[in-house]
Structure 1
Amino acid sequence: MSPASRSSRARAQLTLKEPPASVGAKPGGTLARLNLQFNPSTLELRKTTEWRRSPSRMAEESALPEFVGSGPRELSLEVFLDATATHDNSVEQAVEKLMKACVPTKASLGRKKPASPWVRFEWGSARTTSFDGVLSSLSVTYTLFDVDGKPLRATCRLSIEEASVGPAGQNPTSGSRTGRSTHIVVAGDSLALLAWREYGDATAWRVIAEANDIDDPMALVPGSELVLPAMSDAGAEEEQ
């Protein structure tokens, strides 16, 4: 490959944006941008679907599955950082940018609606791997150090979960939400998944948590009934 071809190759980048100020809104301004030194060697893209069965003791065969909805996309990738030939001679500045995607932004704290930044991975003209999401996991392994202990190389493994799919307020099975509805919790349910199905925004899980007085969003009991506020109700709660 010629030097000209290498220099014109598209470079991957990660962009951190201010989370939406309200349910259904677009992300805000750019908080940080990390231009990757090296394009990823692999990208893992996952998407799940959820089905529900109602078994019957009298049935000879298993019950037909009922489609509940499709889950968000999840992109996993490795980011390699090398500061041996850079001016600052450390990878910690780039790592700190990634760490910012795991904590609430100052603006969201000021609104009393804590939320971490939205993250977008972009690489040239790729579409399936480019979407607005939230960082669901991040791990950093330092692999080379200077004599003073300063990390010079690092491998960062991160997963981005899609946060917005289509117009807010749309549900794959019931259409737009115009009134309160209920949902019976099944195994595998999470507030983020329910918020995505109901509002098209996984970060709106707090609306459901507040409507049901849920202190621990991870402790959903299968068989319990949850109230899912309408978008108009959710907006009214935010204004209070």
Structure 2
Amino acid sequence: MALDKLTIVVEADAGKLQFNQRDDAHYIAAMFNPKSLGVNRSVQWESAKAAKRDSPELQYTTASPATLTIDLFFDTYDRADANKPSVYVHTKKLADLTLVRGDKHRPPVCQLFWGKQGMIFQGVLQQIDQSYTMFLENGVPVRATAKCTFLQWRANATDMKKQNLMSADVAKLWTVRRGQTLASIAADEYLDPANWRDIASANGIDDPLALGPGTTLLLPALPAGRPASGGHRKKEAP
């Protein structure tokens, strides 16, 4: 039974996000499987500002994309063939993952697969550290290691489907439409137009009347202990 090798499938150069494991031009197979995988993820929490509290409630603010680190080993010397090709043909494929390609105006997204686990990570190559450790007499490198760090990548539409963004305790972005005011936006988002002041404060707005269509606003999460009322609506701000 053949040993399952870790593989990196690179997205197609054009069109929507798509992958084809049968396309050799967008497929990288590890010569030797890594000995370990490192996965790191962090989230940010802030203490709610409250008086007379020894341990204020923590409020979730945001998260950083997960990272995956792997060390890959390449060797073109240890082979029966007298011809020892440069190991650069393998390491270059990895280095190319940091280059802008196709019409996407960014480096490609990658999917990592390994055995029965299937896809273990989807992301972009954030950093690569290559070390060439063995050379032929003519200077051709035949052995190398590559330490790779992949940063998790997920399309905005896909990420939003996984979240419940209707809740008032989640910060959001809002694009102003013609005729909208801070109060009407607060009424739609928080069910209380009086919360327009929270929006103004979060966006540094001194004049609520100077709100033009197309403006992008940050709608902050309501302070802890002050949920959206959903009840009667107070008089709107100008």
Give the corresponding residue for 2:135: 145
Whole-Å separation in 1 of the counterparts to 2:110 and 2:217: 27
Q: Which amino acid aligns with 2:174?
A: S
Give the corresponding residue for 1:213: none
Whole-Å separation in 2 of the counterparts to 1:15 and 1:83: 22
Correspondence 1:35 to 2:26: no
Q: Which amino acid aligns with 2:94?
A: L
Give the corresponding residue for 1:100: 96
Residue of 105, 110, 113 corresponding to 1:122: 113
Whole-Å separation in 2 of the counterparts to 1:50 and 1:20: 35
Whole-Å separation in 1 of the counterparts to 2:77 and 2:52: 66
Deviations 1:76-132 (A, max 9, x none): 100000010355521101111111110110322xxxxx11011121110125x6232
Distance verdict in 2 for CA 1:115–1:27, change over 3 Å: farther
Shift of 1:69: 4.2
Whole-Å separation in 1 of the counterparts to 2:217 and 2:84: 50
Shift of 1:47: 2.1
- Consecutive unaligned residues of structure 2, counting only runs of 5 or more, are 176-201, 205-214, 219-238
Whole-Å separation in 2 of the counterparts to 1:224 and 1:151: 55
Whole-Å separation in 2 of the counterparts to 1:171 and 1:106: 29
Whole-Å separation in 2 of the counterparts to 1:100 and 1:228: 37
Give the corresponding residue for 2:191: none
Distance verdict in 2 for CA 1:150–1:164, change over 3 Å: same
SS at match of 1:130: strand
| Equivalent residue runs for 1:55-204 within 5 Å | 55-56=49-50, 58-85=51-78, 89-108=85-104, 114-127=105-118, 130-164=120-154, 167-170=158-161, 172=163, 174-175=165-166, 180-181=173-174
Shift of 1:171: 6.5
Paired residues of 1:43 and 1:77 also in contact (CA < 8 A):
yes
SS at match of 2:93: helix
Distance verdict in 2 for CA 1:18–1:227, change over 3 Å: farther
Paired residues of 1:53 and 1:66 also in contact (CA < 8 A):
yes
Distance verdict in 2 for CA 1:32–1:68, change over 3 Å: same
Shift of 1:71: 3.5
Q: Which structure exhibits the higher relative contact order, with contacts defined as CA atoms closer than 8 Å and separated by 6 or more residues?
A: 1
TM-score scaled to structure 1, two decimals? 0.60
Whole-Å separation in 2 of the counterparts to 1:26 and 1:59: 51
SS at match of 1:80: strand
Shift of 1:17: 1.5
Give the corresponding residue for 2:43: 49
Whole-Å separation in 2 of the counterparts to 1:15 and 1:227: 36
Give the corresponding residue for 2:17: 26
Whole-Å separation in 1 of the counterparts to 2:67 and 2:52: 37
Paired residues of 2:125 and 2:149 also in contact (CA < 8 A):
yes
Moved more, 11-20 or 38-47: 11-20
Among all aligned residue pairs of Structure 1 and Structure 2, give the percentage whose two residues are the same amino acid: 19
RMSD over aligned CA atoms reads 3.3
Whole-Å separation in 2 of the counterparts to 1:19 and 1:163: 17
Shift of 1:67: 1.8
Q: Which amino acid aligns with 1:146?
A: L
Deviations 1:198-236 (A, max 9, x none): xxxxxxxxxxxxxxxxxxxxxxxxx8779469xxxxxxx
- Consecutive unaligned residues of structure 1, counting only runs of 5 or more, are 1-6, 109-113, 183-222, 230-240
Paired residues of 2:12 and 2:26 also in contact (CA < 8 A):
no
Give the corresponding residue for 1:218: none
Q: Which amino acid aligns with 1:117?
A: P
Q: Which amino acid aligns with 1:122?
A: F
Aligned residues: 172
